[in-house]
Amino acid sequence: MKTIVEFLQSLIVPAPIAPEVIRAKAHELWKAQGGGHINPDANWQAAIEQLQLAEKLSRRNFFLELIRPIIASMSTGATIFGGSILFLNFSQGENRLITELFTRSIEQLGNQTETIRIGGIYALERIANDSPRDGWTIMEVLSSFVRGKQDLKGQDIANLSAIRTDA
């Protein structure tokens, strides 16, 4: 049984061409030249050269066919790897953006101007719609905001239904 190295060497080093193959090619060349009195050694040498060239081309085509799927699989692997890196970058960038928007919206809630606070509320709503995992946190922030804006000291519990909840 051949080892891998011996197999690869056998692919690189051409095998000797059998004399009967050379003779058949020389005869073919002799016929192509019209037969007659042509130097048989010249036909013999030309046959060897043509057969060696054909063998060389055959080996080259074999190597190309051998390498083509390897290159294709490597390029597929590189594409998958690049796509996964791109996806990770995108998701990290998206998380960063949501965190920035969340922080700015919270700052807007603490502003003294009512229109800026309302803008903060709408921004938090947008974040909650775009990022469901942050929805509960946003609801708690808004609940805390509403509770903090209401002055309940000294009010009767029966009158709590009069508290505005559409802030």
Domain extent listing, the chain: 17-150
**pLDDT value, residue 36:** 59
Tell me the pLDDT tens digit for each residue of 108-155: 888 888 888 889 989 988 888 888 888 888 888 888 888 877 665 555
Query: What is the percent of the chain where pLDDT is above 70?
Result: 67
Q: Which long-range contacts (CB under 8 A, 24 or more apart) does 55-58 make?
A: 55/14, 55/17, 56/14
**pLDDT value, residue 8:** 63
DSSP the chain: ---HHHHHHHHHSPPPPPHHHHHHHHHHHHHHTTSSS--HHHHHHHHHHHHHHHHHHHHHHHHHHHHHHHHHHHHHHHHHHHHHHHHHHHHHHHHHHHHHHHHHHHHHHT-SSHHHHHHHHHHHHHHHHH-GGGHHHHHHHHHHHHHHH---TT--GGGGGGS----
Tell me the pLDDT tens digit for each residue of 59-83: 778 777 878 888 889 999 999 999 9
- What is the rounded CA–CA span in Å between residue 145 and residue 167? 10
User: Is 93 or 8 the better-scoring residue by pLDDT?
Assistant: 93
